[in-house]
Amino acid sequence: MRPLLSATGVSKRFGGVQALDAVDLSIAPGHIHGLIGPNGAGKTSLFNVLTGLYHADTGTVQIDGRITSGVPPHEIVAAGLSRTFQNIRLFASLSVLDNVLVGAHQSGRSGVLGALLGSRAARAEQDALRERCAALLDRVGVGAHALRTASELSYGDQRRVEIARALAATPKLLALDEPAAGMNPSETDALRELLQSLRDDGLTLLLIEHDVKLVMGLCDRVTVLDFGRCIADGTPDTVRRDPRVIEAYLGSGEPHTEPAA
């Protein structure tokens, strides 16, 4: 089976720091794939290469067979990869529904001029987009808050809105950057159930997460980075027993440093 996303030999240097060193990654369709490692291991750097915020110095990235190395983020979204961010990036003064509509905008066909002129086609398209975005909010469990201002929602619900906005781009692969960060245990449990249900619906997910318990209990496959290199890749059971992973997380190890974005 062809991977939905593959990265081969990806390297990235920031000044004197080798953030990524010939990293390979392969994500199978319909899987939840975890990406873990100590602070500064290169997880965010790899994530940003995959999603187009960084250009790799060497190596290639493919999404569903299409080479996306060096492609700008909006083209990567069009290729089928949508992402969330570690720090929530909602428009605080907009309604919850309008935040999700932002994510759906790229799929519109009538264009800015049609929207400004209020053409019949543009109005019909906008109505359809609003209906689809409202359904996505229901899907992630915050449909009742659609007309509230985003800043009014709890932290966990804001995370759900961000996921709904990413889903509005109809991705083949949803990449989540620390989605459980700052959540309490009940919110984390609810997030686990949501992500499992998205996978059960056929969506592929890439998960960067410091909550190793969440990753090991949720993911089909896990890749571990340390100092910019892949030190393990396999099922959660295989990875948790790998001596290199145990050393990276539990050994004496010097503190890791990650370059500024």
Tens digit of each residue's pLDDT (9 = 90 or more) over 106-131? 655 554 445 555 667 777 878 888 99
List, for residues 3-56, the tens digit of each pLDDT value. Answer: 999 999 999 999 999 999 999 999 999 999 999 999 889 999 999 999 999 999
Q: Sign of the C-alpha dihedral, residues 167, 169, 172, 176?
A: negative
Query: Which residue spans of the chain are classified as CATH 3.40.50.300?
Result: 1-80+171-261
State both tokens at 189: 């449990």
Q: How confident is the model at residue 72 (pLDDT cuts 50, 70, 90)?
A: very high
Beta strands in the chain (DSSP E): 5-14, 17-27, 32-36, 58-63, 66-67, 81-83, 173-177, 204-208, 221-226, 229-234
Show the DSSP H helices in 68-209 as ranges: 73-79, 96-104, 111-117, 120-140, 155-167, 185-200
What class does CATH assign to 1-80+171-261? alpha beta
- Residue 169 CB partners (closer than 8 Å, separation 6+): 77, 82, 103, 104, 106, 107
List, for residues 183-220, the tens digit of each pLDDT value. Answer: 899 999 999 999 999 999 999 999 999 888 999 999 99
Nearest-angstrom CA–CA distance, 82 and 50:
10
